[in-house]
Amino acid sequence: MLITKVAVHKDDPERFMISALKENGESVSFSVDQDVLIEFRLKKGTEIDEFTWQEIVYADEVKKAYHAALYFLAYRMRSEKEMIDYLKKKGISEAVVRDVLHKLRKQRYIDDREFAFAFVRTQMKTTLKGPNVIRKELEQFGISGEMIEESLQMFTFDKQLEAATKLYEKTKKKTTKRSAYQWKQYMEQLLQRKGFSRSVIDEVLNDHQHIENEEKEWEALEYHARKAHRRYQGHDRWTYEQKMKQSLYRKGFSIEKIEKVLEMLKDE
C-alpha cells in the first residue's frame, strides 16, 4: 500500500486523513491519530506492508480507546473495574483495554488505592454512612479487600461515633410519636442499615436515650392515647380500658405509663 496524500481531518485537528493505493490499484482512505501518524512516520510516498498496516490499525484503536478513557475520567476518579466495564461496553477488545489500562496506570490516572482513600474521605465528609456500607460500595467498585481495609482506617471509632450521632440528631428532628421501645428499635435498625457497628450503635443510644426519652415518650404516648380514645370512647368503661391498654401496649408503652395516661384522660 502506497500513501498518496496526508491531510488534517476536517472535523478533528488531532487526526489525519490518509489516502493510499493498494497493489491492485484500488484507492483507500482512512484516518489516524496524530501520535500514530508520527510513530509510524506516515507521509506521502510511504509504503505500508500488511504487517505494518495491522500495527497501525491496532495502535489507532488503542489511541481512540485512550481518549475515551480520558473523557470518562473527566468527571471524577474511576476504579479499574469501572474503566474496564466502560471500555468493554463501547465494544473495545480485551487486548486494547489491557494496553489502555497499562498506560493509565503508568500515568497514575488510574490508581485503585488512591481511589479507595479518596472515596472514603468523600463519604466521611458528605454523607452519614458507616464503614460497613462504604466497604460494600468499594467492593462494588472492584477494590481489593486489602485496599478497602487500609483506606477505612481513616474512619476511626471517634469519627464513626460523630457521624452516627449526627444521624441520630437528624432523625430525632423528623421522627416522633414512638414509644421508647419503638424508638430504640427504629434507631438500631437505621444505624445498622447505614453501616455502623454494634459498638458504635450501643454508645450512641446509651449516650442519648435516657436523657431524651422520658419527655419524648410521654409526648408519643399522649398522641397515641388520644387517637385510640377517639376510636374506643363509645364502648363501655371496662371494654374501653381493655382496648386502650391493648392498643398502647402493642406500641411498646409500659403498663405503668398507660395507667397514668388513662387517668389523665379520665380527668379531662
Averaged confidence pLDDT in the chain:
89
pLDDT in tens, 26-46: 888 999 999 999 999 999 999
Nearest to 130 by CA among 182, 210, 204, 77: 204
Is the residue at 256 inside a domain?
A: yes
Range 10-23 average pLDDT: 89
CATH number at residue 16: 2.40.50
Is the residue at 68 inside a domain?
A: no
| Residue 251 grid cell | 406500641
Range 211-222 average pLDDT: 68
Q: Which of 122-136, 174-188, 253-267 has the highest mean pLDDT?
A: 122-136
Domains: count for the chain = 3
Is the residue at 102 inside a domain?
A: no
The verdict on 226 and 193 lying in the same domain is yes
> In angstroms, rounded to a whole number, what is the distance separating the alpha carbons of residues 115 and 96?
23
Range 198-206 average pLDDT: 91
> In angstroms, rounded to a whole number, what is the distance separating the alpha carbons of residues 48 and 2?
6
pLDDT in tens, 47-74: 999 999 999 999 999 999 999 999 999 9
- pLDDT for 213 equals 59
- pLDDT for 267 equals 67
Range 89-107 average pLDDT: 96
- pLDDT for 175 equals 64
| Residue 84 grid cell | 474496564
CATH number at residue 124: 1.10.10.10
The verdict on 173 and 241 lying in the same domain is yes
Is the residue at 53 inside a domain?
A: no
The one-letter amino acid at 254:
S
- pLDDT for 268 equals 65
Q: Per residue, what are the HEC states of the chain? A: CEEEEEEECCCCCCEEEEEEECCCCCEEEEEEEHHHHHHCCCCCCCECCHHHHHHHHHHHHHHHHHHHHHHHHCCCCCCHHHHHHHHHHCCCCHHHHHHHHHHHHHCCCCCHHHHHHHHHHHHHHHCCCCHHHHHHHHHHCCCCHHHHHHHHCCCCHHHHHHHHHHHHHHHHHHCCCCCHHHHHHHHHHHHHHCCCCHHHHHHHHHHHHHHHHHHHHHHHHHHHHHHHHHHHCCCCHHHHHHHHHHHHHHCCCCHHHHHHHHHHHHHC
Nearest to 187 by CA among 120, 255, 179: 179
- pLDDT for 228 equals 84
Q: Which residue has the higher pLDDT, 143 or 227?
A: 143
pLDDT surpassing 50 at residue 130:
yes
Is the residue at 25 inside a domain?
A: yes
The one-letter amino acid at 110:
I
Is the residue at 55 inside a domain?
A: no
pLDDT in tens, 155-182: 999 999 999 999 998 888 776 666 677 7
Range of the domain at 23: 1-48
pLDDT level of residue 98 (50, 70, 90 thresholds)? very high
The verdict on 40 and 134 lying in the same domain is no
Range 79-83 average pLDDT: 97
- Look at residues 48, 64, 79 and tell me which one is the last residue of a structural domain: 48
The verdict on 262 and 161 lying in the same domain is yes
